[in-house]
Each structure stands twice: as C-alpha cells, then as structure tokens.
Amino acid sequence: MTGLRNHLHGLWLPLVTPFQDGALDETSLRRLTRHYGAHGIDGFILGATSGEGMTLRAAELERLVAVVREEMAAGGRSLPICLGLSGADTSRLQERLDETADWPIDGYLIASPYYVRPSQRGLLAHFETLADHAAWPIALYNIPYRCAVNITNQTMLRLAEHKNIVGLKDCGASREQSIALLRDRPKGFRVLTGEDANYLEALSDGADGGIVLSAHVETATFAAIYSEHKRGNHDAAQARWHEVAELTRLLFAEPSPAPAKYWLWRSGLIDSPEVRLPMVEVSSELAATIDREIKRRMQVAA
C-alpha cells in the first residue's frame, strides 16, 4: 500500500458486493477479485454506490476489505483499494474513519452529505474536518443528483489544496464545470470520471481515468480505451469505445447495480444476482434484453 495520489489514474472498478441468502457471498467475492485482478484494472473501490455500501454492516464492510486484500495477495498482485464512505453527520463519519484506520486500504472515497443540503461553506468545513482526521488520503465524490448538493469548482479548488485530499470522482453537474476544474486544478490533484457513458469524453477533456461500473463487463476493452487514448491513438480509442458505448446504457437501464449483478450471475462470476432492499433485482424485460446481449457478444467473440 503506497500513496493513493500516485495510483489514482486509469481504470478503477467499483466492485459489486455479492450476496447469497442475505449474507456476504465470500466465494463469489473471491472469484470476482481473482478475475478482475488479472484483467487490467488499476484499483478497486469497495463499499461505495455500486457495492451497496449503505446496506453493509460494519463487520461486513471490514470482511469485504479483508477478503479482497487476501485474495489479491494469494494471486500475487496488490492493487490499491479505496473504501467508500458516506453520511450526513460529520462527527459520525469521523468515527468511521477511526474505526477503519487500521484496515488494509489505501484511501477513502467520500461523497457529499446527502439530504441535509449544506452550503458551500458547510461542504468546505465538512471535508476539511474529515481530511484533517483521516489516517488515509481522501478522494471526494461529487454526485449532485444523489446528494442534492453540488461541490462548486470554487469549493473544490479550496479542498484540493488540502494535503490529504488527493482527487475526485466526478459525477458533477455539467461538462462545462468538469472542463473548468480540469483546467484550473492544482498539479497532482487527480480527477476520474464516474459517469460510464462519458468515459471517453472525459478522457478527451483531460480526466486521469474513470471509475466505471460497466467495466465489470468487457474489462479489457475499457482498459484499452484508456491505454490507446493515453498513447495518443485517438481513432483506436474511439473504435474501442464503439464496442461498449451501448453497454454503458444497458447496465443503467434500471437502478444500479442490479443490471450488472444480473449480467455477472448469468456469466457465472457470481452465484446470485441478489441485491438488498430497497434495491430489487432486474425486471423480466431487462433480464431478457441482457440475456440477448450476452448471447450476441459470445457469438461475436467466437
């Protein structure tokens, strides 16, 4: 485990959390870790939105981290891990930082406080308080459509000056805001897009990579898009993007991560498509669409 800032680039996977009969499915989790650890990703996000982190008990979250780290060690590869945390109570989040300080992670991904809709001064104080307190570096998570508050660029640039705030998962309000942040950010402040459908667009705008749920499927293609773009092979990157652009829409046709879990179940990577309420499994209509797409991609690959 080394400095998160140096690793916060490329293709990161917000790993789904597999469940079986209401419990954490460690067998499937180990299978997922082995599979993706060998398929070109640059880091894992655990227990965030895609990992249904708000439904995980503290002991489950700790076990999730431990199993992923154990399985990576067994496979001889050590990828960085960011732990997703969220909440609307700054003092409670400080407690969570204390509780996780000795876990085998490399940093945190922390979303804006939801529901309470703090002012920009409140956001600044909230994140500075957490960054002062955290044993590990923090990447911010700006996602106004979930948290009902947008971290403005003025606030973000203030936060980027903090030595323990190293980057951003950007699901922000507008492309214009994102481009302005990329232009004005201090050296070393990493920005990764969290909008799957805008992955290539964000790389073209100057983002350092992406945190991409859709990379659970066609992982090598998403990794190749980043690699080709970084080498300046923009036509090749665009061609690879055309292979997966529709996939980024299909996997969000119903609330995530249910579609991705269904796909992984049908592909044999997890033993159940189970999600936790208030999430529900995909509709029969979407399941049929996903089944057809899996079959089509298998035929193309053959």
Query: Looking up tokens 């960085």, which residue turns up?
Result: 80
DSSP string, 201-255: HHHHHT--EEE-GGGGSSHHHHHHHHHHHHTT-HHHHHHHHHHHHHHHHHTTSSS
Looking at residue 200, its amino acid is L
- Does the annotation count 199 as an active-site position? no
d(CA 170, CA 255): 19
Q: Is residue 50 marked as binding?
A: yes
Task: Please check if 151 is assigned to a binding site.
Answer: no
Query: Which residue in the list 36, 108, 141, 226 is annotated as catalytic?
Result: 141
Give 272's contacts (C-beta < 8 A, 6+ positions apart): 18, 19, 20, 21, 25, 28, 265
Decide if 163 is catalytic: no
Q: What is the DSSP string of 34-46?
A: HHHHTTT--EEEE
From the list 36, 169, 199, 226, the catalytic residue is 169
Residue 160 DSSP class: T
Binding-site members for pyruvate are 50, 211
Annotated active-site positions, please?
Answer: 141, 169
